[in-house]
Structure 1
Amino acid sequence: MEKEEEGEGAVKLQIKFGGSTIGVRASGKSTVSELKCILQELTNVLPRGQKLIHKGRVLDNDCASLSSFRIGDGSKIMLMASQGLHQGDGPILNQAPVLPNYRKLSKTTTASSTTTTTTTSVLSNSRIHRWKVTGVIGLSESNLKVIPDQVWECGSSARLLDLTNNSISHIPLNITSLTSIQKLILSSNQIADDSINWHALSQLNNLQYLSLNHNLLTYLPPSIGALTSLHHLHVAGNLLQSLPLQISNLTRLQILNVSSNRLSTIPPCIGDCGSLTEVDVSSNLLVMLPETLGSLHNLKSLRLSNNGLKSLPSSIFKKCVKLSSLDLHGTQITMDVLREVEGWEEFDKRRCMKYQKQLDFRAGGSAGFDEGADKN
């Protein structure tokens, strides 16, 4: 991979990292700090977790120019990353990581044979009858590449459809036949942006729980805002770069999990989702949060670990009066920063009350704050 920076006096650098070489073009007048910011985008490693070494010398002055270290065109620089000081889903190495629970099919297995085997051996008449009676369609880990037609035959009787851990890559228009579906679990498949019929999905007016964890999605469409009955939305472990503004329509949403994606911002309209009690945006590329998070008066748990955050919204503790769980591991937020946020004392009391039983059983009885913030 190569990062380009145009301008006079541009030099081409070779960054050695994780067994791979990253090509970077920078100006000789660029500072070490500026180079680290470029590498953060390419490697997920936070600047404070980067140690750059050129010809055995550590580039230990972030304000110094590259030329002051005699770094010129073709120079080779080694990048060493401190454990835990990264954002996103871990450091990016020479190959893209395999998504958790991503199932690879054998090259000798054809789509037709897989589908035929599943249909004949698993989908017996008695099982289909049980689906219609109970409303629960369980097809997790069934070696499926397509959703069997018998699923659509269940129609309005279906309340839950679980297709976890298969190799399904297409969600068709037929999904609209499940008019009473309340819980749809599509986690750990091969669903990409163009392989899911979002328009059809948005017509499931009774849907309360949607899980698309560990797929291949790079975006959520505006039509997701039509699912106004949603209480749970799980899209962790994808490749999402942003959230649509229409997410503000999900006023009944209680739990939002968008961890381990590529989000660089959270839209301010998130503050309109007033029913949210749990928000997980850990392992993304966030450097700041919208002040509107303070509008989530029902928020109890906020997970922010492994992001490039340096501060919290000023109203987060004062207005989120139910907040009692906060995860800041792997961020740049320190205890000194937290103590300056208005309402910190009240939050700390709530946190201690929630965890008092656990604290009582800890060795030494320490009740010190340990949500991942550095001491100084």
Structure 2
Amino acid sequence: MGNCLDICLPRKPDDPRARPYVQLQRQQAWAKTGIVGLRDQGLKELPASLAEAAPALKVIDASNNRLTALPAFLVTFSGLQRLVLAGNQLTVALPSGAGSRLTALKMLVLDDNLLQELPEEIGQLKRLERLSVSGNRLHALPPAIGGLESLQALVVSRNALETLPDELGSCARLEELDAQSNDLAAIPAALGQLKRLKMLQLDNNRIFAVPPDVLYGCTALQTLSLHGCPIKPDDLQETPGFKEFDERRKSKYDKVIAGGALLGNRGLDEGVDREVSPPRR
């Protein structure tokens, strides 16, 4: 009688005897939906059981864990489209061989890890549309990043970048570049090749000037943010190409107002800081 009850009655999830069953259920769910949700579980490594569902997996989100490395079997997930690993302790962005084998990857999020560099093979991710590595320890981006021909959004804010590579100008589909809070002293003129670039965020850097090539060449640019930089508004306005950029910026603002959006008291953001005179006594 005792054995029958032991087998037939449902077990609590924290019962050690229930773990194989729970694990099986989880693997079946992964294989059925293609989605792996492993956020906030204190994981030190990705479970090996992921490999059994590899052909079906499209999304993995293992953010806010304690991952220090990625397993070699990750490169077998040829159908993976989104890989989100923010808030871990990773020092290597991808396992060796991932560039040539994760051929379906469209989104890679590695914010708030311990990365000091990105591998050259990242440029092999030809379908990658969004790359976010904010809050790491990057001092440079590899020239191979120019190979990301499908890239639409690049977020590299809160790092220690001293330069941006000229090769970024080859990312022809790039629409958004966020490099706020780095140590950049200049904007590469090569970014002027980015005809689809709409938003360039460079707040809190050491930038003194904007190349005319960017203002002229980035014909879709509507948002240029340089708050917290030493550039002077008058110098920016006197830069060749600023008039054309300013017309686009104002056009965007007018469309927002026409659409009924509320902007509070900010109005049209100039994108740079003006020195505020002390109040008169």
Say yes or no: TM over 0.5. Answer: yes
2:62 equivalent to 1:175: no
**Could you say if the C-alpha distance between residues 344 and 153 of structure 1 is closer, same or farther in structure 2, counting changes exceeding 3 Å?**
same
Deviations 1:191-237 (A, max 9, x none): 013x8523335421111111111100100111111111111111110
CA distance in 2, matches of 1:122, 1:351: 58
**Could you say if the C-alpha distance between residues 142 and 261 of structure 1 is closer, same or farther in structure 2, counting changes exceeding 3 Å?**
same
Which sections of structure 1, spanning at least 5 residues, go unmatched? Answer: 1-116
Residue 224 of structure 2 is aligned with which of 326, 337, 340? Answer: 326
Q: Tell me which moved more, 212-221 or 124-133.
A: 124-133
2:156 equivalent to 1:258: yes
Deviations 1:100-142 (A, max 9, x none): xxxxxxxxxxxxxxxxx9x939953222212111111111112
2:131 equivalent to 1:233: yes
CA distance in 1, matches of 2:22, 2:209: 53
User: Which amino acid counterpart does residue 162 of structure 1 have in structure 2?
Assistant: D
2:179 equivalent to 1:290: no
2:261 equivalent to 1:374: no
> What does residue range 9-20 of structure 1 map to in structure 2 within 5 Å?
none
Q: TM-score, normalised on structure 2?
A: 0.84
SS at match of 2:229: coil
Contact 1:329 1:371 in 2 (8 A): yes
**Could you say if the C-alpha distance between residues 196 and 229 of structure 1 is closer, same or farther in structure 2, counting changes exceeding 3 Å?**
closer
Contact 1:175 1:201 in 2 (8 A): no
User: Which amino acid counterpart does residue 308 of structure 1 have in structure 2?
Assistant: R
User: Deviation at 1:340?
Assistant: 1.4
> What does residue range 28-107 of structure 1 map to in structure 2 within 5 Å?
none
Contact 2:75 2:95 in 1 (8 A): no
SS at match of 2:50: helix
CA distance in 1, matches of 2:166, 2:215: 17
User: Which amino acid counterpart does residue 270 of structure 2 have in structure 1?
Assistant: D
Q: TM-score, normalised on structure 1?
A: 0.64
**Could you say if the C-alpha distance between residues 355 and 368 of structure 1 is closer, same or farther in structure 2, counting changes exceeding 3 Å?**
closer
SS at match of 1:161: strand
Residue 51 of structure 2 is aligned with which of 123, 142, 152? Answer: 152
Q: Tell me which moved more, 255-264 or 147-156.
A: 147-156
Match of 1:243 in 2: 141
Contact 1:140 1:164 in 2 (8 A): yes
Residue 191 of structure 1 is aligned with which of 78, 90, 96? Answer: 90
Match of 1:85 in 2: none
| Percent pairwise identity | 35
More strand, by proportion: 1
> What does residue range 124-139 of structure 1 map to in structure 2 within 5 Å?
124-139=23-38
CA distance in 2, matches of 1:197, 1:122: 30
SS at match of 1:355: helix
Contact 1:210 1:232 in 2 (8 A): yes
Match of 1:140 in 2: 39
Deviations 1:165-216 (A, max 9, x none): 11111101110221100111111101013x8523335421111111111100
Contact 1:264 1:285 in 2 (8 A): yes
**Could you say if the C-alpha distance between residues 331 and 172 of structure 1 is closer, same or farther in structure 2, counting changes exceeding 3 Å?**
same
**Could you say if the C-alpha distance between residues 167 and 358 of structure 1 is closer, same or farther in structure 2, counting changes exceeding 3 Å?**
farther
CA distance in 1, matches of 2:52, 2:264: 58
User: Which amino acid counterpart does residue 271 of structure 2 have in structure 1?
Assistant: E
For these two proteins, the number of residue pairs brought into alignment is: 258
Contact 1:176 1:204 in 2 (8 A): yes
CA distance in 2, matches of 1:329, 1:123: 51
**Could you say if the C-alpha distance between residues 124 and 241 of structure 1 is closer, same or farther in structure 2, counting changes exceeding 3 Å?**
same
Contact 1:302 1:325 in 2 (8 A): yes
SS at match of 1:168: coil
**Could you say if the C-alpha distance between residues 258 and 198 of structure 1 is closer, same or farther in structure 2, counting changes exceeding 3 Å?**
farther
Query: Which 4+ runs in 1 deviate beyond 6 A?
Result: none
> What does residue range 195-234 of structure 1 map to in structure 2 within 5 Å?
196-200=94-98, 202-234=100-132
CA distance in 2, matches of 1:282, 1:352: 23
Contact 1:299 1:323 in 2 (8 A): yes
Deviations 1:301-349 (A, max 9, x none): 0000010000011111211111111111110112111111222222222
CA distance in 1, matches of 2:109, 2:166: 23
Contact 1:334 1:375 in 2 (8 A): no
Which sections of structure 2, spanning at least 5 residues, go unmatched? Answer: 1-15, 277-281
CA distance in 1, matches of 2:170, 2:56: 33
Deviations 1:36-86 (A, max 9, x none): xxxxxxxxxxxxxxxxxxxxxxxxxxxxxxxxxxxxxxxxxxxxxxxxxxx
User: Which amino acid counterpart does residue 154 of structure 1 have in structure 2?
Assistant: A
CA distance in 1, matches of 2:88, 2:273: 35
